Amino acid sequence: MTRKSPSRRGFLKGAAVGAVAASSLPAPAIAQGNVQWKMVTTWPKNFPGLGTGAQRIADRIDALTDGRLKVKLFAAGELVPAFEAFDAVRDGIAEMTHDAAYYWVAKHKSMPFFCTVPGGLTQQEHMGWIYHGGGQALWDELYAEFGLKAFLAGGTGVQMGGWFQKEINSLDDLQGLKMRIPGLGAEVINRLGGTAVNMPGGEIMPALQSGVIDATEWVGPWNDLAFGFYKIAKYYYGPGFHEPSSALEVMVSKDKFEELPSDLQAAVENACMAENGYMLSEFTAGNSAAQATLTGEHGVSIGSFPDDVVKAAYGAAVDVLHETADVDDLGKRIFDSWWKFRQEAIDRAPFAEQGYMNNRGLANA
């Protein structure tokens, strides 16, 4: 039996049906060609941990996608000033940024909860809240109001209290003191009688040298050594009350992220998650080595804040944090979720890392 060849009319009819069927399928979010994104940061170029961590994220995304999504990094001031990074992503100047969410407290008073707040969660606890305690869903809801989405992307661990031009012997020594400090920690300093000043990292050293500020916090021994604060300020205190975790974020345009195919979305998210753990371990090692250098080679003496300063700071912090719940319904839900997690973490701590470290200190005495 001889099979007849399809007629031209039949062929065209079949092609038309196929075209209709194809047109009913959702179009791919992005063409198969390479995608180019710009990342702006709030850090000086190639600054240890912070700047280099942002570059690692860009490099990981490139590697994970075989170059299908390439991210070009612009350090603070190269494309936009450090504190214009949020608006740069929202306005489409860049597709993503690497930064600290507490810089955006003026956008919404609950922003700092997704980085760090005074008297708050340690890095490990913060990750528990974000990944497993409902924090990410609340973060998504808050940032969606601005057309953004964010992921955990690094952190420093517990930070130092800062560098001071004069010795802090009591709460009286904070009166009138001008200190560089961001986020809700700034409000605590104001309530203790000081004057908080916010500025990006690259501006701190000149401000300290010129007397624009009397004190500054930044991160910890590793980054503080790199900036050379020990050359200007004599008194170094720690730990700080204001930044127990300092979780960093990659913030992306929600629209641009949703345009990506699912595998590229996964690459962005996984690159952030990888850096989140890597950077914390890097800061843990770097701070230990740098503290030995500061004390051994540069003669820095590290002290602890007096008891009255500690009690007043933590007391003021509780008031400041509770006030964020009064901003709006979302602010209240963020605070309630976070506060519940914090209380459970406090109950757990004596039987976990806090208890172990206390016992280790006793045994090593």
Instruction: Summarize pLDDT for 202-215 with one digit per residue, the tens.
Output: 999 999 999 999 99
Contact between 253 and 147 (Cβ < 8 Å): yes
Contact between 250 and 98 (Cβ < 8 Å): yes
For residue 6, pLDDT beyond 50: no
Contact between 159 and 219 (Cβ < 8 Å): yes
Backbone angles phi, psi at 296, to 5 degrees: -85, -40
Structure tokens, 24: 């009913």
224-279 pLDDT, tens digit each? 999 999 999 999 999 999 999 999 999 999 999 999 999 999 999 999 999 999 99
Backbone angles phi, psi at 155, to 5 degrees: 180, 165
35-155+245-285 shares its CATH topology with 162-243+300-364 = yes
Structure tokens, 266: 């996964």
Q: Which residues contact 362 (CB under 8 A, 6 or more apart)?
A: none
* H helical segments located in 151-301: 183-191, 204-210, 221-227, 254-259, 262-297
Model pLDDT, residue 365: 84
Domain boundaries, the chain: 35-155+245-285, 162-243+300-364
CATH pick for 35-155+245-285 out of 3.40.50.620, 3.40.190.170, 3.40.50.300, 1.50.40.10: 3.40.190.170
Amino acid at residue number 204: I
For residue 9, pLDDT beyond 50: no
For a pLDDT cut of 90, what percent of the chain falls above it? 91
For residue 179, pLDDT beyond 90: yes
Q: Please, which pLDDT band fits residue 24 given cuts at 50, 70 and 90?
A: very low
Helices 183-191 and 307-323 meet at what angle, rounded to 10? 120
- Looking at the domain 162-243+300-364, which fold is it? D-Maltodextrin-Binding Protein; domain 2 (3.40.190)
Cα 243 to chain centroid, rounded: 11
Say how far apart CA 188 and CA 190 lie, in whole Å: 5
pLDDT, the chain, mean = 93
Say how far apart CA 193 and CA 191 lie, in whole Å: 5
